[in-house]
């Protein structure tokens, strides 16, 4: 902004600062050259100089030039500082970076020989304002380079300031600069200078020098900075020390203001954070009381929730405040401070755009004392919007209403409640709610009162006519399309149904001790009472059957150990207490079993109700069969040892496959799952039940004394205690984020939902050593074990030890692993390891490692079963390759999508083919399907069956196999549509490769159709001419074997044509070809058709003729003078390449629909000449032809020419000749001359007159001119 380095002094000279030619400066007591103050010089200025720092007396003899040499060195050192040279670290080891340039440096130096006078502290002051111009207020600081030597008595104490009208507006330093003692100042020297004589003393060892940047800043207006004067003061006015100053600078240290948007791309209506960053200059000086006002660009306003934040605070001066009012178009900040040492601070405000496009917030939008920001751009894309509406085809009651909502986690983004009594789509809706593209939301509906059991809920979400989500529940998770601007409309439809409990995505049911059945909603946190069982005081053990049509519970005794009565709810009967259902639970020995009844459930597969209790670490299970005789309604199924796991309280539930899950819970928030498979439960006979036990986990957050368990179809668990119900992830037992708690005094929970589940099994194909056993483990995403199991015994194949099934949340990441169990002889490296995970017939994971990640399918109720297979022998790999032969070229190509199979039957030892659940696989794009065969030992052998399922329109051609690279004879046979062959004596460690070749049966059928006319379709010969190198195409007459299902070459163009003998027929349209599936096959303009491999194509060509009806009409017919007296004829014009017949018919009068005999076939669009003649040749008739007519609709139209054109194919035209007789002379009845005679005579006279006139004209024309 402003600087002074005292350039302008003549080189190698000295002058007074008050005589400085460039600027006018004043001093107070510091401008006496002979006192060595206020001197401007450089290192090369000559000395001695009597005017400036003259030699001083030594023994009264002026022989000492020490001061002159000191100040000249000060100027050189200040040049070194300006050049960026570093000083030494010790006075006796100064740095010398002197150069010609530094020695030419001019500086203001002072080494007073005597004091400058008390109060005379102004070393330098500008005589007038420095004249800096600025359009706005700015922050300013100052700096200077200072050197000091010698440092004796009265060391300098310097201050630098800007003053205006005698008042300081900026003090550059908070305390004086003490160059003789300042920390950080370096030690310098320069080249030796000549002494005047032997008595001339040496100067000081070094100069202490540094650049001193001010540590304070001031915010000055344009007027203040323009009129400000620089002032340098030294409060040490006595003699004894010297100093020099140079490179005085006024610095613009205004912080910069920057703005940015995060995210920088948002949808219309979606808030983004506008961040203002105030960045300090590198000096990090405190800058107080800055401000700015940002007028937001058009279309951008402060968001409804501004959420003002950031790190900027008030340090000093005016109070700091940010003004950002929702909906406003300006944002302002006042009183902002940057504390000393602070590099930056931020202010954040949420803003929102109302239109899409690019919004730019640039310097023109901001008024500030700070450095204006660069432009910041925000890209605004069209909003992604979600509408949720309600369709009520009917209401059970006119007052029934529903509340719709959209949630993100537990936050309700929008809701609407229906009103009125109208049916159909309701006007109340969550309309065009702006949501995030790609975001996941929960859509929900809930009745405003009651449980809504009489309505079946479903929803459908549509975007641009495409359904993107469906569900059959009151709540669903919806992931919005990832591209911006999507409009999604979700409609909840409720249909009236027989009342039933909802097997819903978010609903569960609880029972209170008093018998109230409560419906809870985990999405909204709401609850509704379904109804109650009367006279109940100890209701527990709730279970709900599949479909929600039945529920059972136990009314316990006061000590909870026995059944007072069974409680039942059905859609038809409502709440019932079943008579004669008191029961004391007894074990297999008939003795009563202690403990409280705490669990109940209905098997979703069989409908059987079971209940149970913990007693002394043992869980016992009973069933209740309502339809059984009273004496056998209750049956003891068996028990299992819960061990040290949580027990004493809990619950249980089934999945849809009949597997039972028992929850053990303790007061210390610990829980565990005990699972009993459907197979083991079906086989239960009162003994010990095999059980898989999960590891004990602590609920997070805690929920002590859990008494209820129910499943969602997502695989999450609802857990309750006596006051609250929450939803948990069963792998980690952590509460589901955003799930709502439902508060009611439940004693037990139930749903009719089946959870997603996972099981880990073990299959030992063979053991390397008899002592070898395996431990399998299922772990959550953090590596914490959910459960583990260890094999035992010597049996091979599927082991009894297994982990699970355990319920898990869909989409959960898990890890399955195995290791050798303690006491095994072999290491896991001695075994071939294969892992397969299947979910409902689909292989979801495969690995050959001992540990593998598994992600649960994102499908409600998914069931995943993983199995580790181990074999001590090398595997045998079987590859079956599928080829399809092109019969035209003889070349084969791989074919995808064929069902291929490999099965292994051990003939010695054991053998297992993998994939275990897929003996058949579809060939891939390379035509391959691969199996792995594990053998129990090196001596095991197996017979392999290689097969394929035949596809329609293919025929098996050949099959071959190799074993270990050597061809092996194999015979393939076909049975029941399956081609198969066997390979015997296959052992471990080899490779089997088989190739199965089929030939596509591609056929072409030609068909002739006659759409109009009497010709037979077989009158034509149809032909498909084959291209060179292809199978011959069909040729022959329609319906014959020669043109029906004829094998042709696929991918080749066959030219279609026809020939016939009746030229009156023409082809109507082009050939039309279709596959047997109805798919159209293209036919070119040249009538070429190309068939795809395996297609059965029928090509049809249609021909038609036209017809003409030719009639005779006689005016006033009489015998011998009637239509049949004439014969009418239609003679065709010549036809190139063909012959058409002339058609003649005996004349007949027109009779609607009765002129078949007068109708004949003509070539469509061809020319014909019509004529008539007497039927009997030579007959002389007195007649005249009046006209030729054509029948157009119901009107006869006169035709001017007898040359006519036949109508288009499929149409008929009717023509007729109209004749009348010639009438003879009429004789008068009186005997005189009749009137006709006069007419005839008059005609003759007229003819004679015309003839005479003609002769006269010719004669006159022949005369010569006169």
Mean pLDDT of 192-201: 89
The domain that holds 732 is classified in CATH as 2.115.10
Q: Above 70 in pLDDT, residue 356?
A: yes
Q: Does 268 share its domain with 241? A: no
| CB-CB neighbours of 311 under 10 Å | 12
Q: Above 50 in pLDDT, residue 1210?
A: yes
Q: Does 575 share its domain with 655? A: yes
Is the pLDDT higher at 737 or at 962? 962
Q: Above 80 in pLDDT, residue 22?
A: no
Q: Is residue 1226 part of a domain?
A: no
In this structure, the strands spanning 138-148 and 61-64 are: unpaired
Is the pLDDT higher at 1098 or at 506? 1098
Q: Is the dihedral of CA 616, 618, 623, 629 positive or negative?
A: negative
Structure tokens at 598: 């705490």
Among the listed residues 805, 780, 775, the one whose alpha carbon sits nearest the alpha carbon of residue 692: 805
Mean pLDDT of 996-1005: 92
Q: Is 608 left (phi over 0), alpha (psi -120 to 50) or beta?
A: beta
Residue range 215-243, pLDDT digits in tens: 999 999 999 999 999 999 999 999 999 99
Number of domains in the chain: 9
Structure tokens at 612: 């149970």
Residue with tokens 């002739």: 1008
Q: Above 50 in pLDDT, residue 1207?
A: yes
Give the per-residue pLDDT at 643. 81
Rounded Cα distance between 1175 and 587, Å, is: 118
Looking at the DSSP bridge assignments, the partners of residue 1171 are: 1129
Residues 6 or more apart from 819 whose CB is under 8 A from it?
774, 775, 777, 828, 850
Give the per-residue pLDDT at 1223. 63
3-state class of 82 per DSSP? helix
3-state class of 830 per DSSP? helix
Q: Does 21 share its domain with 136? A: yes
Rounded Cα distance between 234 and 909, Å, is: 107
Residue 646: band (very low, low, confident or very high) from pLDDT cuts 50, 70, 90: confident
Q: Is residue 501 part of a domain?
A: no
Mean pLDDT of 686-714: 93
The domain that holds 796 is classified in CATH as 2.60.40
Mean pLDDT of 126-151: 94
Structure tokens at 818: 């195995």
Among the listed residues 306, 274, 266, the one whose alpha carbon sits nearest the alpha carbon of residue 292: 274
Q: Is residue 232 part of a domain?
A: yes
Q: Is residue 503 part of a domain?
A: no
Structure tokens at 508: 């569960």
Q: What's the Cα-to-Cα distance from 1237 to each of 373, 1230, 1242, 1246, 1247, rounded to whole Å?
A: 123, 14, 8, 14, 16
Give the per-residue pLDDT at 705. 87
Q: How many CA atoms lie within 13 A of 877 on its CB side?
A: 10
Computed on alpha carbons and rounded to an integer, the radius of gyration of the chain in Å comes to: 55
Residue with tokens 């292989």: 843
In this structure, the strands spanning 1021-1025 and 1053-1059 are: antiparallel
Q: Above 90 in pLDDT, residue 61?
A: no
Domain interval for residue 959: 876-1000
Residue range 1130-1157, pLDDT digits in tens: 999 999 989 999 999 999 999 999 999 9
Residue 414: band (very low, low, confident or very high) from pLDDT cuts 50, 70, 90: very high
Q: Is 617 left (phi over 0), alpha (psi -120 to 50) or beta?
A: left
| CB-CB neighbours of 275 under 10 Å | 17
| CB-CB neighbours of 913 under 10 Å | 21
Main-chain dihedrals φ then ψ at residue 1160, nearest 5 degrees: -145, 160
Q: Does 925 share its domain with 968? A: yes
The domain that holds 933 is classified in CATH as 2.60.40.10
Q: Does 526 share its domain with 540? A: yes
Q: How many CA atoms lie within 13 A of 1046 on its CB side?
A: 26
Give the per-residue pLDDT at 888. 67
Rounded Cα distance between 1249 and 1253, Å, is: 6
Residue 653 exposed, middle or buried by CB count within 10 Å (0-12, 13-18, 19+): buried
Mapping DSSP onto H, E and C, the string for 474-525 reads: CEEEEECCCCCCCEEEEEEEEEECCCCCCCCCCEEEEECCCCEEEEEECCCC
Rounded Cα distance between 48 and 977, Å, is: 124
Are the C-beta atoms of 804 and 730 separated by less than 8 Å?
no
Give 3-state DSSP helix, strand, coil % of the chain, rounded to 5: 5, 50, 45
Are the C-beta atoms of 1014 and 966 separated by less than 8 Å?
no
Rounded Cα distance between 623 and 684, Å, is: 11
Rounded Cα distance between 934 and 930, Å, is: 13
Q: Does 568 share its domain with 700? A: yes
3-state class of 96 per DSSP? coil
Among the listed residues 259, 245, 170, the one whose alpha carbon sits nearest the alpha carbon of residue 215: 170
In the predicted model, what is the mean pLDDT of the chain?
92
Q: Is residue 743 part of a domain?
A: yes
Residue 1244: band (very low, low, confident or very high) from pLDDT cuts 50, 70, 90: very low
Are the C-beta atoms of 689 and 681 separated by less than 8 Å?
yes
Q: Does 56 share its domain with 111? A: yes
Among the listed residues 51, 91, 82, the one whose alpha carbon sits nearest the alpha carbon of residue 68: 51
Q: Does 71 share its domain with 158? A: yes
Q: Above 70 in pLDDT, residue 1253?
A: no
Q: What's the Cα-to-Cα distance from 157 to each of 109, 142, 147, rounded to whole Å?
A: 14, 17, 12
Residues 6 or more apart from 476 whose CB is under 8 A from it?
442, 443, 444, 459, 469, 505
Rounded Cα distance between 351 and 270, Å, is: 8
Q: Is residue 505 part of a domain?
A: no
Angle CA 942–945–949, to nearest 5: 160
Mean pLDDT of 514-519: 96
Q: Does 990 share its domain with 1018? A: no
Q: What's the Cα-to-Cα distance from 1066 to each of 387, 611, 1100, rounded to whole Å?
A: 60, 84, 14
Q: What's the Cα-to-Cα distance from 801 to each of 517, 927, 931, 1177, rounded to whole Å?
A: 39, 38, 26, 113
3-state class of 1029 per DSSP? coil
Mean pLDDT of 26-33: 94
Are the C-beta atoms of 863 and 657 separated by less than 8 Å?
yes
Q: Does 376 share its domain with 388? A: no
| End-of-domain residue from the set 727, 750, 773 | 750
Q: Is residue 502 part of a domain?
A: no
Q: Does 524 share its domain with 609? A: yes
Residue range 84-114, pLDDT digits in tens: 999 999 999 999 999 999 999 999 999 999 9
Give the per-residue pLDDT at 1. 79
Mapping DSSP onto H, E and C, the string for 142-197 reads: EEEEEEECCCCCCCCCEEEEEEECCEEEEECCCCCECCCCCCCCEEECCCCCCCCC
Q: Does 206 share its domain with 68? A: yes
| End-of-domain residue from the set 946, 981, 1000 | 1000
| CB-CB neighbours of 1174 under 10 Å | 14
Structure tokens at 791: 């094999």
C-alpha dihedral, 910 to 914 to 915 to 921, nearest 10°:
-110
Largest CA distance in the chain: 198
Rounded Cα distance between 68 and 41, Å, is: 10
| End-of-domain residue from the set 979, 1000, 1021 | 1000
Residue 1246: band (very low, low, confident or very high) from pLDDT cuts 50, 70, 90: very low
Q: Can you list the alpha helix ranges (DSSP code H) found in 206-315? A: 222-227
C-alpha dihedral, 1031 to 1037 to 1040 to 1044, nearest 10°:
40
Q: Above 80 in pLDDT, residue 999?
A: yes
The helix (H) or strand (E) run that includes residue 634 is: strand 634-641
Q: Is residue 325 part of a domain?
A: yes
Rounded Cα distance between 601 and 1018, Å, is: 74
Q: Above 80 in pLDDT, residue 1098?
A: yes
Q: Above 70 in pLDDT, residue 284?
A: yes
Give the per-residue pLDDT at 1264. 34
């Amino acid at each position: 902004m402003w600087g002074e380095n005292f350039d302008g002094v003549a080189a190698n000279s000295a002058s007074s600062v008050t005589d400085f030619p460039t600027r006018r400066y004043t001093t107070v007591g510091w401008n006496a050259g002979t006192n060595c103050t206020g001197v401007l010089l450089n290192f090369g200025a000559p000395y001695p100089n009597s005017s400036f720092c003259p030699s001083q007396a030594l023994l009264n003899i002026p022989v000492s030039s020490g001061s002159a040499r000191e100040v000249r060195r000060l100027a050189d050192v200040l040049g070194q500082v300006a050049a960026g040279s570093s000083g030494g670290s010790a006075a006796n080891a100064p740095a010398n970076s002197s150069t010609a340039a530094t020695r030419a440096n001019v500086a203001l130096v002072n080494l007073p020989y005597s004091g400058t006078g008390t109060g005379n502290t102004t070393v330098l002051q500008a005589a007038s304002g420095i004249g800096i111009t600025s359009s706005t207020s700015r922050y300013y600081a100052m700096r200077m380079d200072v050197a000091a030597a010698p440092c004796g008595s009265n060391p300098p104490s310097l201050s630098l300031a800007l003053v205006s009208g005698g008042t300081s507006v900026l003090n550059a330093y908070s305390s004086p600069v003490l160059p003789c003692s300042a920390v950080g100042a370096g030690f310098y020297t320069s080249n030796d200078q000549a002494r005047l004589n032997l008595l001339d003393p040496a100067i000081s060892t070094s100069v202490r020098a540094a650049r001193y940047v001010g540590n304070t800043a001031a915010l000055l207006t344009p007027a203040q900075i323009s009129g400000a004067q620089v002032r340098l003061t030294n409060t040490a006015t006595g003699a004894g020390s010297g100093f020099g100053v140079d490179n005085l600078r006024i610095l613009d240290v205004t912080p910069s203001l920057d703005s940015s948007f995060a995210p920088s791309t948002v949808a219309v209506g979606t808030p983004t954070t506008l961040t203002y960053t105030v960045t300090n200059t590198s000096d990090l000086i405190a800058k107080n009381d800055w401000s700015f006002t940002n007028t937001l660009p058009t279309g951008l306003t402060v968001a409804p929730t501004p959420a003002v934040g950031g790190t900027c605070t008030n340090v000093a001066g005016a109070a700091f405040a940010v003004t950002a009012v929702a909906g406003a178009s300006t944002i302002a900040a006042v009183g902002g401070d940057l504390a000393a040492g602070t590099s930056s601070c931020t202010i954040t405000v949420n803003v929102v755009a109302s239109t899409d496009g690019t919004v730019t917030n640039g310097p023109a939008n901001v008024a500030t004392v700070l450095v204006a920001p660069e432009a910041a751009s925000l890209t605004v894309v069209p909003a992604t919007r979600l509408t949720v509406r309600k369709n009520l085809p009917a209401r059970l009651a006119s007052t029934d209403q529903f509340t719709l909502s959209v949630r993100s986690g537990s936050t309700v983004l929008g809701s609407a409640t229906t009103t009125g009594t109208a049916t159909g789509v309701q006007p109340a809706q969550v309309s065009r709610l702006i949501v995030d593209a790609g975001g996941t939301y929960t859509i929900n509906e809930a009745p405003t009162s009651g449980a809504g059991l009489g309505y079946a809920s479903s929803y459908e979400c549509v975007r641009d006519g495409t359904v993107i989500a469906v569900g059959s529940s009151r709540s669903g998770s919806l992931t919005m399309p990832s591209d911006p601007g999507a409009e999604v409309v979700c409609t909840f439809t409720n249909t009236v149904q027989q009342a039933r409990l909802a097997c819903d995505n978010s609903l569960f049911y609880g029972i209170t001790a008093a018998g109230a059945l409560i419906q809870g909603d985990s999405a909204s946190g709401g609850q509704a009472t379904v109804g109650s069982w009367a006279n109940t005081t100890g209701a527990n053990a709730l279970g709900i059957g599949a479909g929600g049509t039945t529920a059972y519970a136990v009314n316990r005794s006061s000590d909870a150990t026995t059944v007072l009565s069974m409680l039942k709810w059905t859609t038809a009967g409502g709440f019932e207490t079943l008579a004669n259902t008191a029961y004391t639970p007894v074990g297999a020995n008939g003795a009563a079993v202690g403990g409280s009844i705490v669990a109940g459930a209905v098997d979703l597969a069989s409908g059987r109700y079971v209940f149970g209790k913990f007693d002394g670490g043992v869980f016992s299970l009973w069933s209740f069969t309502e339809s059984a005789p009273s004496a056998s309604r209750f049956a003891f199924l068996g028990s299992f040892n819960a061990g040290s796991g949580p027990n004493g309280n809990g619950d249980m539930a089934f999945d849809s496959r009949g597997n039972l899950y028992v929850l053990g819970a303790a007061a210390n928030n610990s829980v565990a799952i005990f699972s009993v498979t459907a197979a083991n439960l079906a086989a239960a006979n009162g003994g010990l039940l095999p059980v898989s036990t999960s590891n004990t986990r602590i609920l997070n957050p805690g929920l002590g004394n859990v008494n209820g368990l129910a499943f969602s179809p997502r695989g999450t668990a609802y857990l309750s205690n006596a006051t609250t119900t929450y939803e948990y992830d069963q792998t980690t037992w952590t509460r589901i984020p955003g799930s709502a708690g439902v508060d009611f005094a439940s004693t037990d929970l139930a749903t009719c939902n089946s959870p997603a589940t996972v099981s880990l099994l073990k299959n030992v194909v063979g053991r390397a050593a008899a002592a070898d056993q395996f431990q399998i483990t299922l772990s959550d995403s953090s590596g914490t074990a959910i459960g583990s199991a260890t094999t035992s015994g010597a049996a091979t194949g599927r082991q009894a030890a297994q982990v699970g099934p355990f319920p898990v949340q869909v989409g959960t990441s898990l890890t399955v692993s195995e290791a050798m169990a303690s006491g095994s002889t072999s290491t896991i490296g001695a075994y071939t390891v294969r892992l397969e995970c299947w979910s409902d017939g689909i292989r979801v994971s495969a690995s050959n490692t001992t540990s593998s990640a598994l992600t649960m399918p994102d499908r409600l109720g998914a069931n995943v079963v993983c199995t580790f297979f181990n074999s001590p022998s090398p595997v045998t790999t079987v590859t079956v390759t599928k080829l399809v032969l092109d019969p035209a070229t003889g070349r084969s190509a791989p074919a995808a999508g064929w069902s291929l199979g490999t099965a292994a039957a051990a003939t010695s030892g054991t053998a297992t083919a993998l994939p275990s659940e897929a003996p058949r696989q579809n060939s891939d794009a390379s035509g391959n399907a691969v199996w792995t065969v594990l053998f129990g030992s090196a001596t095991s052998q197996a017979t392999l069956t290689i097969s394929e399922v035949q596809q329609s329109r293919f025929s098996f051609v050949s099959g071959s196999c190799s074993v270990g690279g050597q061809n092996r004879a194999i015979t393939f046979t076909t049975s029941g549509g399956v081609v198969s062959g066997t390979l015997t004596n296959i052992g471990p460690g080899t490779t089997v490769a088989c190739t199965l070749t089929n030939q596509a049966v591609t056929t072409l059928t030609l068909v002739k159709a006659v759409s109009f006319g009497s010709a037979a379709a077989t009158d034509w010969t149809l032909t498909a001419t084959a291209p060179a190198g292809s199978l011959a195409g069909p040729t022959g007459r329609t319906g014959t074997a020669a043109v029906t299902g004829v094998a042709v070459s696929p991918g080749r163009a066959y030219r279609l044509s026809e020939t016939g003998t009746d030229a009156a027929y023409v082809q109507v349209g082009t050939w039309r070809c279709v596959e047997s599936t109805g798919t159209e096959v293209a036919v070119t303009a040249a009538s070429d058709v190309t068939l795809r491999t395996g297609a059965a194509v029928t090509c049809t060509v249609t021909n038609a003729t036209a017809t003409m009806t030719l009639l005779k009409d006689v005016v006033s017919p009489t015998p011998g003078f009637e239509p049949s007296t004439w014969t009418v004829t239609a003679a065709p014009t010549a036809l190139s390449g063909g012959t058409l017949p002339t058609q003649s018919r005996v004349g007949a009068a027109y009779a609607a629909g009765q002129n078949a005999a007068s109708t004949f076939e003509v070539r469509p669009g061809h020319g014909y000449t019509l004529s008539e003649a007497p039927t009997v040749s030579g007959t002389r008739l007195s007649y005249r032809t009046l006209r030729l007519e054509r029948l157009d609709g119901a009107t006869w139209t006169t035709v001017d020419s007898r040359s006519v054109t036949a109508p288009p194919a499929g149409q008929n035209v009717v023509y007729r000749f109209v004749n009348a007789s010639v009438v003879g002379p009429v004789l008068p009845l009186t005997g005189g001359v009749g009137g006709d005679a006069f007419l005839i005579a008059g005609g003759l006279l007229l003819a004679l007159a015309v003839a005479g006139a003609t002769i006269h004209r010719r004669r006159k024309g022949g005369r010569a001119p006169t």
